[in-house]
A = this chain, B = another copy of it.
Amino acid sequence: MALSEFELIQRYFAPFNTSPAVVAGIGDDCAVLALSPGSELCTSIDTMVESVHFPANADPHGLGWRCLAAAVSDLAACGARPVGFCLALTLPDVAESWLAAFASGLAAAAEAFAIPLVGGDTTRGPLTLSVQVMGEVARGGALLRSGAKAGDQVWVSGTLGEGRAALDYLDQPSHANPFSKAYYYPRPPLQFGCELAGVAHSAIDISDGLLADLGHILQASGVGAEIDITRLPVSKALITRCGRERATEFALSGGDDYQLCFTSASASLTTLQALAQKHEVQLTCIGHIREQSGILCRDAQGKLVDPHYSGYRHFS
């Protein structure tokens, strides 16, 4: 049964369009949203293309979750409270079973991250998912990449490397991929991120890999960093599967982790620990910010090496 664009949107996407901030949702020329008084709007857009960012025949429920999770990860990095998101969905044909599973995964993520779907566009073409997210911060309160200061501690949330490890299994069915959950169902610490604004000096989400993303903070802030690779948070499962050396490389350069890397004054330690406990977020201090530019890594032998010349980037 061929459904029109209007029927498709009505059937699969209209139901999870609820929030007090939504003045007018799907079904008009624009969605209309009421931000909190005194707040500023934070916005970001992320695109995933079949066979480029995910394999053909990827699990549609997982894709639904993943495309929204990857986008809200940018809100987390800015310390923004979620307001709403738009979905531009380009589909090769209308397979209702695919669409039902995709919408179900998307709805699950929308509920988990407390962000309503407020608008979108459905078109025919090669499978492409663009998610645009909107959040709000107190005026002047957005967490940026540019605030890192010499002496800051460098922190990461969660564990790193499993997103990259999953790529080696993506041609296999989801159930045969030991890191399927990390790949399809990332959980960026959005609520934790909202409370980081005012505590952290700078933040970024780890989507391109820790070294690359920390590098963006360093460049924007005009500083450098020293990190201790023995402290990188990697899961036991990752070490068991890949060995510690490869697990470390994945954690440094793998990407697709959708965790936060941020810097803050050492005096903020108690506040951070309380926030981590409140939101059940694992936090690890992996190093500190220095005045000199560049990233130095202290390796397992205690030696300082430049990771860009040590082979840690050869997977990127």
Residues on A facing B (Cβ under 8 Å)? 23-24, 27-35, 37, 40-53, 74-75, 77-78, 80, 83-84, 86-88, 90, 118-121, 123-126, 128, 130, 132, 134-135, 137, 139-140, 142, 144-146, 203-205, 220
Q: Is the CB of B124 within 8 A of A28?
A: no
In angstroms, Cα B29 to Cα A205, docked, is: 8
A41–B30 alpha-carbon span in the complex (Å): 9
Check B90 against A28 for contact (C-beta < 8 Å).
Answer: no
B88 touches A24 (CB 8 A): no
Question: Are B135's CB and A53's CB within 8 A?
Answer: no
On whether the beta carbons of A204 and B42 are closer than 8 Å, the reply is: no
Pair A78/B220 contact, Cβ less than 8 Å: no
A112 to B48: give the CA distance in the assembly, Å. Answer: 30
Inter-chain contact B49/A90, CB cutoff 8 Å? yes
Whether A130 touches B41, Cβ cut-off 8 Å, given contacts A29-B145, A142-B30, is: no
Q: Chain copies in the assembly?
A: 2
Contacting pair B32 A35 (CB below 8 A): no
Q: In the complex, what's the smallest C-beta–C-beta distance from A78 to chain B, in angstroms?
A: 4
Contact in complex: B74, A29 (CB < 8 Å) = yes
Query: Do residues A144 and B28 form an inter-chain contact, with CB atoms below 8 A?
Result: yes
Question: Chain A: interface secondary structure?
Answer: strand
Whether B27 and A44, one on each chain, are in contact in the complex, defined by CB atoms closer than 8 angstroms, is no
Assess the B24–A142 pair: CB atoms within 8 A.
yes
- Docked-complex contact B128 and A30, CB < 8 angstroms: no
A39 to B35, CA, bound (A): 8
- Chain B minimum-CB-distance residue to A137: B32
Given A24-B144, A49-B126, A53-B123, 8 more pairs with CB closer than 8 A? A28-B220, A32-B40, A32-B137, A37-B37, A43-B86, A43-B132, A45-B130, A50-B125
Select the residue from A84, A121, A139, A220 with max chain B CB neighbours within 10 A. A121
Interchain nearest-CB distance for A92 vs B (Å): 10
Q: List 14 A-B contacts (CB under 8 A).
A: A23-B142, A29-B77, A29-B145, A32-B42, A32-B78, A32-B137, A34-B40, A34-B41, A35-B41, A41-B134, A45-B119, A49-B90, A88-B132, A125-B128
**A34→B118 CA distance, assembly (Å):** 20
A220 and B27 in contact, given A34-B40, A90-B128, A130-B130 (Cβ under 8 angstroms): yes
Taking a contact as CB atoms under 8 Å apart, the answer to whether A121 and B130 are in contact is yes
Contact status A134-B29, CB under 8 Å: no
Contacts of A24 in B (CB 8 A): 142, 144
B49 touches A40 (CB 8 A): no
Q: Are B41 and A32 in contact (CB under 8 A)?
A: yes
Known: A24-B144, A29-B77, A35-B35. A123 touches B40 (CB 8 A): no
The answer to whether A30 and B125 touch (CB under 8 A), given A43-B118, A43-B119, A45-B120, is: no
Cβ of A196 to closest chain B Cβ, rounded Å: 12
**How long is the Cα–Cα vector from A220 to B27 in the complex, in angstroms?**
9
Minimal Cβ-Cβ distance residue in B for A124: B52
